[in-house]
Amino acid sequence: GDLVNRYGYINLVGFSAGYKLTNNWFFQTDASFLFGSQVKIPGLLDGITDSYGNITDVNGDPAAVNILCRGLATNVQVGKIIPLSRFQRNSGLMVHAGAGYLNHRIKIETQTQVVPMIELDYKKGYDRLTSGVSLMQFIGYAHMARSSFYNFYGGFYCMQGFTRERRTVYFDQPNVPVSTKTRLDLLVGLKFGWFIPFYSTRKDYYYEY
């Protein structure tokens, strides 16, 4: 996908909530924060870097500038837990899929220093803000026990984002038109979480971390 050309490894941390019916079908919604420290755009800030390789702050001192990946993913999903044992009806193979929204951008961080050329709205000329609709799939194992603290899940996930660039110009490439094509941003990895279940006689509510 296109995402690998812009960032290195990306981590996701999030929260979801939903409910499970007595037939083990469940519905949930989730939100995840994307973050990473590897940005693959060479020369992004060359235009504001001096001959010594420094970016100076408002006082003329060399500034410590961090270039990071940030983003957000939200989904609405439907799935099912397929029991592997008749003695553990709430545990087994867990599969679900859904659709939602994905965005990601480059965050330029200057800590406590002020660098006028990358402050406030000027950051937008470098941030590569990208967003669009997404699809998400998961397959793994879930364990939920009424009398146990150990309620967890783990498995493999895949997310496909059909996104577009949201800026009209990039300050580091002012003469290069910003692409208007739809991107395919792929995220694939391992996902682990912890359930906090709330049981009732008709459906099981739960929260995940």
Which amino acid, one-letter code, is at 17? Answer: A
Q: What is the pLDDT of residue 60?
A: 93
The yes-or-no verdict on residue 209 having pLDDT over 70 is no
**CB atoms near residue 144 (< 10 Å):** 22
The yes-or-no verdict on residue 86 having pLDDT over 90 is no
- Burial string for 21-40 (b: 16+ CB within 10 Å, else e) reads eeebebbbebebebebeebe
DSSP 86: T
Which candidate, 137, 22, 136, places its Cα nearest to that of 90?
22
Q: Which residue has the higher pLDDT, 150 or 79?
A: 79
d(C-alpha 178, C-alpha 167), whole Å: 7
**CB-CB contact of 115 with 123 (8 Å):** no
Instruction: Tell me the residue ranges of DSSP E strands in the chain.
Output: 11-21, 25-36, 66-83, 92-109, 130-143, 152-165, 183-199, 203-208
Q: What is the pLDDT of residues 14-51, one digit of tens each?
A: 999 998 998 999 999 999 999 999 999 999 999 999 99
Q: What is the pLDDT of residues 112-159, one digit of tens each?
A: 899 999 999 999 999 999 999 999 999 999 998 877 778 999 999 999
Residue 166, Ramachandran bin (φ over 0: left; ψ between -120 and 50: alpha; else beta)? alpha
* Mean pLDDT (the chain, rounded): 93
**CB atoms near residue 179 (< 10 Å):** 10
d(C-alpha 187, C-alpha 207), whole Å: 23
pLDDT tier at 206, thresholds 50, 70, 90: low
Domains of the chain (ranges; CATH) run 3-208 (2.40.160)
**What token pair was written down for 188?**
């694939």
Q: What is the pLDDT of residue 205?
A: 56
**CB-CB contact of 97 with 139 (8 Å):** no
Q: What is the pLDDT of residue 145?
A: 80
Q: With pLDDT > 70 as the criterion, what percentage of the chain qualifies?
A: 94
The yes-or-no verdict on residue 208 having pLDDT over 90 is no
Rounded average pLDDT over 38-65: 95
Predicted model pTM:
0.89
Residue keyed to tokens 């083990």: 24
